[in-house]
Amino acid sequence: MRGVPLQNLPTALTAPRSRALALCALPVLALFAVAAFVPLPYTVEWPGVTADTLGTYKGRPVITVTGAQQRATEGQLRMVTITATEPGHRNSLWDSLRAWGDPEQVVVPTEEVYPQSNPKQANEVTQQQMTQSRDDATTAALNYLHLSPDQVKVAIDLGDIGGPSAGQMLALGIVDKIAGDGRGGDLTGGRTVAGTGTIDSAGRIGPVGGVPLKTQAAARDGATVFLLPRSECTQAKVNTPDGLQLVPVDTLAESVAALQALHDGGAVPHC
C-alpha cells in the first residue's frame, strides 16, 4: 500500500509545533502506562464475611457456655468483618482507580490498615486483639448478668477471624444464650441483627472504623438491624443499604435495651 504524501496531510498535523507535541506526548503516555502498574502504598477493602454469634462458624459453635444452662435461641446476632488485600500486597494505580469507582470498595493508606509492615506480625496483632476482645466480651456479659466467672465459663471460637470489632456482638451472644431478653424470649425477637463495635470489660462500646462496608456485609447476609457505636453514626449513613435500621449505642446495657424496645415496639435510638 502506498503511503499518503506529507503534502496531502492537513497542515495542523505536519506543522513543526504539532510534530513536537506528538513527540513529547509519547514519553508522557509511556510514563502513565508504567505508573498504572507500579505498586502503591494503598490497601483495598470490601465487605467481608459475617458470623452468627448464636450459631456456628466453619462448623464449630461460636459460643459455648458451661456452668449455666444454655438456651436454644432463634434469630441471629451477626458480627461483621471487612476483607482487605494482604499486608504484603501493593495495589497498582490501576487497581486503586478501579476500586475508587466501586461503591462497595474503599482505598486507604496501607499503614492505616497494617501498621506492622510484616504480614506475620500483622496477623499476630489481629489475633491478640481478638483474644482480648473475647475476654472483655465475656467479662462484660457476665457482669451484666451478675454472674461470676468462677460460676460460668464461656468459650468463643471464631476460627481465624482477628481484630477487636466483634466485641459487642459476642457479648450480646453470651447474654442471649444464658438469659435471653430476661422474660423468656430472645434478644433478637427472631430477627437477624448485625453489628460492630469494640467492648471493654465494663461494657463500654467503642468505635471500629469501616462501618459503611460492614453495613453492606450485614444487609447482604440478611440483617435488618445494625447496632453500632454512637460516635460512628455519620460514617454509617454513607451508602446505608435499603431496609437496614441503624441503632447507635454506647454500652452493652443500651444494646440490650434497644433490642428489647424493638421487640416491644418502643422507642429505639437511631442515627
Per residue in 81-117, pLDDT tens? 998 877 666 666 767 666 666 777 877 777 777 776 6
Average pLDDT over residues 191-220: 97
Cell 461503591, located at residue: 103
pLDDT band at 65 (very low <50, low <70, confident <90, very high): very high
State the CB neighbour count (10 A cutoff) for residue 237: 13
Average pLDDT over residues 208-220: 95
Average pLDDT over residues 119-125: 81
Indicate whether 107 belongs to any domain.
no
Indicate whether 233 belongs to any domain.
yes
Q: Which pLDDT does position 222 carry in this prediction?
A: 98
- The total number of residues written for the chain in this structure: 271
Q: Which pLDDT does position 121 carry in this prediction?
A: 81
Indicate whether 9 belongs to any domain.
no
Indicate whether 8 belongs to any domain.
no
Q: Which pLDDT does position 232 carry in this prediction?
A: 97
In the predicted model, what is the mean pLDDT of the chain? 85
What residues make up the domain containing 154?
A: 47-83+126-264
Name which residue leads in pLDDT, 17 or 268: 268
Q: Which pLDDT does position 246 carry in this prediction?
A: 98
Indicate whether 40 belongs to any domain.
no
Q: What is the pLDDT of residues 167-202, one digit of tens each?
A: 999 999 999 999 999 999 999 999 999 999 999 999
Bridge partners for 107 per DSSP: 44
Least confident of 26-40, 52-66, 163-177, 251-265: 26-40
Rounded Cα distance, 263 and 46, in Å: 32
Q: CB neighbours of 187 closer than 8 A, spacing ≥ 6?
A: 75, 77, 172, 175, 176, 180, 181, 193, 256, 259, 260
Average pLDDT over residues 240-247: 97
Rounded Cα distance, 254 and 108, in Å: 32
Specify the CATH number for the domain of residue 201: 3.30.230.10
Name which residue leads in pLDDT, 99 or 241: 241
Indicate whether 54 belongs to any domain.
yes
Indicate whether 234 belongs to any domain.
yes
Domain count for the chain, please give it. Answer: 1
Average pLDDT over residues 34-41: 51
Name which residue leads in pLDDT, 66 or 16: 66
pLDDT at 229 over 90: yes
> What share of the chain has pLDDT > 70, as a percent?
77
Indicate whether 106 belongs to any domain.
no
Q: Are strands 63-66 and 153-156 parallel, antiparallel or unpaired?
A: antiparallel
Q: pTM for this one?
A: 0.81
